[in-house]
Amino acid sequence: MNDPREALPLTALTYHILLTLADGDRHGYGIIKEVERRTGGEVVIETGTLYHAIKRMLDEGLLESVPSSERPEGEDQRRRVYRLNPWGRKVLVAESLRLRKLLRVAEEKNVIPGEAS
Amino acid sequence: MTFHEPYSPPRFLSGLLWVSLRFYPREFRDSWSEEMEETFFRRAADVVMDRSTKGLLQFSVREFWAMFRAGIRLRMEGVSLLGSGHNPGPIRGDHERGIRCLAGVPADLKVAARGLGKAPGFTVAAILVLALGIGINATAFSVVKMAVLAPPPFPEAHRVVMVDMLRKDGEEDAGRSGRWPYPMLLAVEELENRFIEPLAGFDDGTVTLTGMGPATEIGMEIVSPGYFEVIGIPFPLGRGFTADEAEEGGPFRVAVVSYSFWRGRLGGDSSALGRVLELSGESFEIVGVAPQGFAGLGGDAELWLPLGATAVFRPGRRAQDFNHQIWVVGRLRPDATIEAARDQMGVIAEGLSDRWPGSRYGMSARSLPEVWVNPRAETSAKLLAIAAAMVLLVACANLSGLLITRARRRVRDGAVRMALGAARWRLIRLYLVESLVLSTLGGILGIGLAFLGNRGLSSAWPDGFLNGAGLGLRVNDPRNLALDGTVLGFAFLIVFLTAVLVGMAPALRVSKGDFARDLKEGTGATRSGKRVWGLDTRATLVGGQVSLALILLIGSGLVSKSLRRLMTVDEGFRTERVLTFEYSLSQSTPPIDYVDNSTLPDRITSAADFDDRLIRRLDALPEVEAATVGCGVLQGYCAVVGVMGVDGRRLEEPPSIAVITVHDRYFEVLEIPVLRGRGFTPQDGLSSNPVVVLSASAAETYFPGVNPVGHLMTIEFAVRGREQAEVIGVVGDVLYGPPDATGVPVAYFSTQERRFANHALIRTSVRPNVAVRAIRSEIHAMDPTVAMSGIASAEELVSRSAGDRRIVFGLLGLFAGVSVLLAAIGTWGIVASSVTNQRRELSLRIALGADRRVILGQVARDSATAAFFGLAGGFGGALAGTRLLDTFLWETSAQDPQTYFFGVSFLFVVILAASYFPGRRATRLDPAQALKAE
Question: Is the CB of B38 inside 8 Å of chain A's CB atoms?
Answer: yes
Q: HSE-up of B63 (CA within 13 Å, CB side)?
A: 26
Question: To probe the interface with B, which of A26, A31, A51, A81 has the most B CB atoms within 10 Å?
Answer: A51
Strand partners, B220: B205, B303
CA distance B497 to chain A (A): 24
DSSP result, B563-600: HHHHHTS--SS--TTEEEEEEPPPTTSPPP-SS-TTTH
Question: Is the CB of A59 inside 8 Å of chain B's CB atoms?
Answer: yes
Contacts of A8 in chain B (CB under 8 A): 91-92
Please check the confidence at residue B235 and state whether its pLDDT lies above 80: yes
Contacts of B91 in chain A (CB under 8 A): 7-8, 10-11, 14, 56, 60, 62, 91
Nearest CB to B67; choose among A48, A80, A91: A48
Pick from A84-88, A105-109, B373-377, B577-581: least confident: B373-377
Question: Is the CB of B89 inside 8 Å of chain A's CB atoms?
Answer: yes
CB contact under 8 A, B70 and A52: yes
B529-579 pLDDT tens trace: 455 555 677 788 888 899 999 999 998 898 888 888 877 778 888 888 999
Distance of alpha carbon A19 from alpha carbon A31, whole angstroms: 10
Closest CA to B282 of B314, B237, B326, B323: B314
Please check the confidence at residue B315 and state whether its pLDDT lies above 60: yes
Strand partners, B284: B277
Binned at pLDDT 50, 70 and 90, residue B309 comes out as: very high
Nearest CA in chain B to A11: B92
Question: Is the CB of B651 inside 8 Å of chain A's CB atoms?
Answer: no
Distance of alpha carbon B340 from alpha carbon B332, whole angstroms: 10
Distance of alpha carbon B387 from alpha carbon B379, whole angstroms: 12
CA angle B404, B410, B415 (to 5 degrees): 110
| Torsion angle defined by CA atoms of residues B843, B849, B852 and B853, in that order, rounded to the nearest 10 degrees | -120
Per-residue pLDDT, B2: 38
Nearest CA in chain B to A48: B67
Per-residue pLDDT, B365: 83
Per-residue pLDDT, B919: 84
Contact B368, B127 (CB under 8 A): no
For the stretch B931-934, contacts whose Cβ atoms lie closer than 8 Å and that sit 24 or more positions apart, written own/partner, are: B931/B840, B931/B843, B931/B844, B933/B839, B934/B524, B934/B840
DSSP result, B391-455: HHHHHHHHHHHHHHHHHHHTHHHHHHHHHTT--HHHHHHHHHHHHHHHHHHHHHHHHHHHHHHHH
Per-residue pLDDT, B175: 53
Contact B434, B115 (CB under 8 A): yes
Of residues B551 and B885, more confidence is placed in: B551
Across B193-218, average pLDDT: 87
Nearest CB to B35; choose among A12, A80, A91: A80
Q: For residue A76, what are the contacts with CB-CB under 8 A and spacing of at least 6? A: B38
Per-residue pLDDT, B718: 57
Overall pTM > 0.90 = no
Distance of alpha carbon B436 from alpha carbon B423, whole angstroms: 20
**Between A and B, how many CB-CB pairs are < 8 A?**
84
Contact B13, B60 (CB under 8 A): yes
Nearest CB to A29; choose among B43, B69, B96: B43
B680-724 pLDDT tens trace: 998 888 888 899 999 999 999 899 989 999 999 998 765 667 888
The percent of residues in chain A predicted with pLDDT above 70, rounded, is: 89
CA distance B41 to chain A (A): 10
Question: Is the CB of A78 inside 8 Å of chain B's CB atoms?
Answer: yes
DSSP result, B845-866: HHHTT--HHHHHHHHHHHHHHH
Nearest CB to B63; choose among A46, A78, A80: A46
Across B44-55, average pLDDT: 72
Report DSSP state, residue B287.
E
Contacts of B43 in chain A (CB under 8 A): 29, 32, 47
Query: Alpha helices of B788-881 — where are they, by DSSP H?
Result: 794-800, 803-837, 839-847, 852-881
Question: Is the CB of B534 inside 8 Å of chain A's CB atoms?
Answer: no
For the beta carbon of residue B283, count every other beta carbon within 10 angstroms.
11
Across B324-344, average pLDDT: 88
Distance of alpha carbon B803 from alpha carbon B800, whole angstroms: 5
Please check the confidence at residue B893 and state whether its pLDDT lies above 70: yes
Distance of alpha carbon B373 from alpha carbon B476, whole angstroms: 8
Contact B164, B366 (CB under 8 A): yes
Per-residue pLDDT, B593: 62
Amino acid at B795: E
Nearest CB to B70; choose among A7, A28, A49: A49
Across A2-28, average pLDDT: 87
CB contact under 8 A, A32 and B65: no
Binned at pLDDT 50, 70 and 90, residue B479 comes out as: low
Of residues B260 and A70, more confidence is placed in: B260
Of residues B133 and B834, more confidence is placed in: B133
Please check the confidence at residue B525 and state whether its pLDDT lies above 50: no
Q: For residue B866, what are the contacts with CB-CB under 8 A and spacing of at least 6? A: B535, B539, B540, B542, B543, B546, B827, B830
Nearest CA in chain A to B39: A29
Nearest CB to A10; choose among B39, B66, B92: B92
Across B336-345, average pLDDT: 88
Per-residue pLDDT, B304: 95
Binned at pLDDT 50, 70 and 90, residue B359 comes out as: low
Report DSSP state, residue B95.
H
The percent of residues in chain B predicted with pLDDT above 90, rounded, is: 17
Question: Is the CB of B18 inside 8 Å of chain A's CB atoms?
Answer: no
Distance of alpha carbon B10 from alpha carbon B640, whole angstroms: 51
Binned at pLDDT 50, 70 and 90, residue B228 comes out as: very high
Strand partners, B162: B329, B366
Please check the confidence at residue B523 and state whether its pLDDT lies above 50: no
Across chain B, what does the average pLDDT equal? 80
Binned at pLDDT 50, 70 and 90, residue B625 comes out as: very high
Contacts of A43 in chain B (CB under 8 A): none
Of residues B636 and A36, more confidence is placed in: A36
Please check the confidence at residue B30 and state whether its pLDDT lies above 80: yes
Nearest CA in chain A to B75: A52
Using DSSP, state whether B646 is helix, strand or coil.
strand
Please check the confidence at residue B219 and state whether its pLDDT lies above 80: yes
Question: Is the CB of A11 inside 8 Å of chain B's CB atoms?
Answer: yes
Distance of alpha carbon B371 from alpha carbon A62, whole angstroms: 54
Cα B388 versus chain centre, distance: 15
CB contact under 8 A, A51 and B71: no
- Which of A40-49, B249-258, B597-606, B732-741 shows the highest mean pLDDT? B249-258
Per-residue pLDDT, B472: 43
Contact B717, B322 (CB under 8 A): yes
Using DSSP, state whether B256 is helix, strand or coil.
strand
CB contact under 8 A, B63 and A47: yes
Distance of alpha carbon A47 from alpha carbon B86, whole angstroms: 26
Per-residue pLDDT, B3: 40
Strand partners, B694: B730, B747
Distance of alpha carbon B744 from alpha carbon B317, whole angstroms: 24
Closest CA to A23 of A69, A99, A92: A92
Per-residue pLDDT, B9: 65
For the beta carbon of residue A43, count every other beta carbon within 10 angstroms.
13
Report DSSP state, residue B532.
B
Contacts of B32 in chain A (CB under 8 A): 51, 55
Of residues B68 and A16, more confidence is placed in: A16
Cα B875 versus chain centre, distance: 28
Per-residue pLDDT, B473: 47
CB contact under 8 A, B70 and A30: no
Please check the confidence at residue B254 and state whether its pLDDT lies above 90: yes
Distance of alpha carbon B738 from alpha carbon B734, whole angstroms: 11
* Relative orientation angle of helices B839-847 and B803-837, to the nearest 10 degrees: 70
Per-residue pLDDT, B17: 86
Report DSSP state, residue B314.
S
Binned at pLDDT 50, 70 and 90, residue B471 comes out as: very low
Please check the confidence at residue B369 and state whether its pLDDT lies above 80: no
Nearest CB to B74; choose among A11, A13, A52: A52
Per-residue pLDDT, B157: 81
Using DSSP, state whether B916 is helix, strand or coil.
helix
Contacts of B67 in chain A (CB under 8 A): 46-48
Q: What CA–CA distances, in Å, run from B557 to B547, B812, B855, B869, B885? A: 15, 9, 36, 21, 11
B170-205 pLDDT tens trace: 565 555 567 888 888 888 888 888 888 889 999 988
Contacts of B74 in chain A (CB under 8 A): 52, 55
Nearest CB to B70; choose among A9, A27, A48: A48
Per-residue pLDDT, B463: 58
Q: For residue B816, what are the contacts with CB-CB under 8 A and spacing of at least 6? A: B549, B552, B553, B555, B556
Nearest CB to B92; choose among A11, A49, A78: A11
Distance of alpha carbon B436 from alpha carbon B494, whole angstroms: 11
Phi-psi region of B341 (alpha: psi -120 to 50; beta: other; left: phi over 0): alpha
B584-610 pLDDT tens trace: 877 777 666 666 667 777 778 888 888
What is the dihedral sign for C-alpha B518, B524, B525, B530?
A: positive
Question: Is the CB of B6 inside 8 Å of chain A's CB atoms?
Answer: no
Q: For residue B334, what are the contacts with CB-CB under 8 A and spacing of at least 6? A: B159
Q: What CA–CA distances, in Å, run from B849 to B476, B854, B856, B924, B934? A: 68, 11, 14, 13, 21
Sheet holding A81-84, edge to edge: A26-27, A81-84, A63-65
Question: Is the CB of B13 inside 8 Å of chain A's CB atoms?
Answer: no
